[in-house]
Chain A
Amino acid sequence: MVHIATIVPISLTVGANRIVPALAIPYPLGNPELPKDKERELRLNLVKKALRALQIEVEKQTVFEE
């Protein structure tokens, strides 16, 4: 399981082991300021990052910033 969430400190406190920082509370995988196609690209990249995190072995709680 990978947790895509904006408030990383909460995700850490409640015990998620794989965490990918999201963009904002009301639009974790979006950005209303961007044109539609750019926003889709952003979302796709964030999801790809999450899928990469799923494939990495971790020993402890890990935030995947990059």
Chain B
Amino acid sequence: MRDKKYRVVHYLNQFFGQIGGEEKANIPPLIKEGAVGPGIPLQQALGEEGEIVATVVCGDNYFAEDIEAVAAKVVETVSSYKPDVFVAGPAFNAGRYGIACGAACSAVSKKLGIPVVTAMYKENPALELYLKDAYIIPTGSSVRGMKEAILKMADFVRKLGLGQEIGLPQEEGYFPRSIRVNQFVERTGAERAVDMLLSKLKGEPFQTECPMPTFERIPPSPAVKDLHSATIALVTSGGIVPLGNPDRIEAASASKFAEYNIAGIDDLTPDAYQTCHGGYDPTYANEEPDRVLPLDAMRALEKDGTIGKLYDFYYVTVGNATSVANSQKFGKAIAEKLKAAGVDGVILTST
């Protein structure tokens, strides 16, 4: 039997936190001791093992107006209670409430490093945004499903509070987040493949081991208006670096990108540049690095006035086994630098 109860902090909106309805959607976060509203049956379900020590209540509109700042405030409030678990909602299909729950969970998880769980309906727009930041439990679409939602949440809070391992989504009943975890199994991949094919051919149900990934779509940027006066920058994922790879960009799974000055350089030559990318035959890039980073062409087009200026720096990483998450990080950082420097357009080359 545990010596002390695990501590839980619960997040609710103004309505479930019993402050008021829409007219109170603008209230800033406040704290109430113990369990409130749906927190009461939640506490009942947790029994003697866990205690909801406090409930944070915030207006849905207040949160929506400055998500990052309000989430930070929530974290600050929560941390003084030293919780072991943070739970938010259930938000059902309420969009703003769902976002508040998701954002609060995300911030608490990142800042305090404690497990976080919330619950909402599968169509709640917040689901996609916070899917990977918290365990999210499916609920019905309306408050009619409150009882069931609370019981499922209690089960989860209990497991997290007791430090138990959370199994697969299909076993535990949370929305799958596609977080890939390696595991050794009984049979080889070849054996599993033949089994899967035979099931598929017979029209019998089978389970794919790797659902197809989806990628974010971003709206196209506006066209460059006046090329003759524009500053264009070069960026590459093809690993073209100064000879010796001074910043040690990895041949695969790059953990970084680098910036190199090309002011006054008309041409990349093999005595000064090389590729450090381990995923393609390097012979051709090492012979003539412009084949991957077309500096010579860009310089010629700058000299003849086709473009206003070739930006003095180029950016490079290695796109070999490099994760999408890291790539996004690099892309964002590079874009910020280019924007700050007043660059108008970018040519990105890949191998």
| A-to-B contact residues, CB < 8 Å | 1-6, 11, 13-18, 22, 25-30, 32, 39-40, 43-44, 46-48, 50-51, 54-62
Residues of the A chain whose Cβ atoms lie less than 8 Å from the Cβ of B282: 26
Residues of chain B with a CB closer than 8 A to A22's CB: 349-350
Q: Which of B297, B301, B348 is A29 in contact with, Cβ under 8 Å?
A: B297
Q: Please tell me if B132 contacts chain A, counting CB pairs below 8 Å.
A: no
Interface residues of B in 207-227 (CB under 8 A from A): 215-225, 227
Q: Which of B21-29, B180-188, B283-291 contacts A (4 or more CB under 8 A)?
A: B283-291
Contact assessment for A5 and B349 in the assembled complex, using a CB-CB cutoff below 8 Å? yes
Cross-chain contact A15 with B218 (CB below 8 angstroms): yes
Chain A neighbourhood of B285, CB < 8 A: 26-27
In the complex, which residues of chain B have a beta carbon less than 8 angstroms from the beta carbon of A54? Answer: 223-224, 227, 232, 345, 347
Which A residues lie within 8 Å of B238 (CB)?
28
User: Closest CB-CB distance, A44 to chain B, in whole Å?
Assistant: 5
- Contact A51 B223, beta carbon cutoff 8 Å: no
Q: Which residue of B lies closest to A44 (CB)?
A: B297
State which of A13, A47, A59 has its C-beta within 8 Å of the C-beta of B294.
A47
A4-B348, A14-B215 are contacts. A58–B220 as well, Cβ < 8 Å? yes
- CA gap between A44 and B296 in the complex, in Å: 8
Please give, as numbers and ranges, the residues of chain B lying within 8 Å of A1 by CB-CB distance.
221, 345-348
Q: How far is the CB of A51 from chain B (nearest CB, A)?
A: 6
Would you call B351 an interface residue if the criterion is a C-beta within 8 Å of the partner chain's C-beta atoms?
A: yes
Chain A, residue nearest B324 (CB): A14
Closest A residue, CB atoms, query B221:
A1
Residue numbers in A under 8 Å from B217 (CB-CB):
15
Q: List 9 A-B contacts (CB under 8 A).
A: A26-B285, A27-B285, A28-B292, A29-B297, A43-B294, A47-B347, A54-B224, A55-B223, A57-B223
Contacts of B300 in A (CB 8 A): 44
Asked if B245 lies at the interface with its beta carbon under 8 angstroms from chain A, I say no
Give the complex CA separation of A42 and B297 in angstroms.
Answer: 10
Contact partner of B222 among A5, A13, A16, A57, CB < 8 A?
Answer: A57
In the complex, the answer to whether B281 meets A26 with C-beta atoms within 8 Å is: yes
Given the complex, which residues of B lie within 8 Å of A61, measured CB to CB? 220
Interface residue B307 (Cβ < 8 Å from any Cβ of A) = yes
Residue among B227, B290, B348 making CB contact with A3, cutoff 8 Å: B348
Least distance between B277 CB and chain A CB atoms (Å): 9
Q: A2-B346, A51-B307, A56-B223 are in contact. List 7 more A-B contacts (CB 8 A).
A: A3-B348, A14-B324, A26-B283, A29-B349, A43-B294, A46-B297, A54-B227
Query: Which one of A26, A30, A60, A62 lies within 8 Å of B290 (CB-CB)?
Result: A30
Of the candidates A4, A51, A58, the one whose C-beta lies within 8 Å of that of B349 is: A4
Q: Which of B215, B345, B348 contacts A15 (CB 8 A)?
A: B215
| CB pair A25 B280 closer than 8 Å | yes
> Bound state CA distance, A62 and B324, in angstroms?
22
A11 vs B238: C-alpha distance when bound (angstroms): 14
Query: Which residue of B is nearest A58, CB measured?
Result: B220
Which of A11, A29, A46, A51 contacts B227 (CB under 8 A)? A51
**Which residues of B are found within 8 Å of A44, using beta-carbon distances?**
297, 300-301
The residue in B218, B287, B297 that gathers the most chain A C-beta atoms within 10 A of its C-beta is B297
0/1 per residue, B41-81, Cβ < 8 Å to A? 00000000000000000000000000000000000000000
**How far, in angstroms, from A27 to B293 measured CA to CA in the complex?**
10
Asked if residues B349 and A13 are in contact (CB atoms below 8 Å), the reply is: no
Determine whether B18 belongs to the interface, using a CB cutoff of 8 Å to chain A.
no
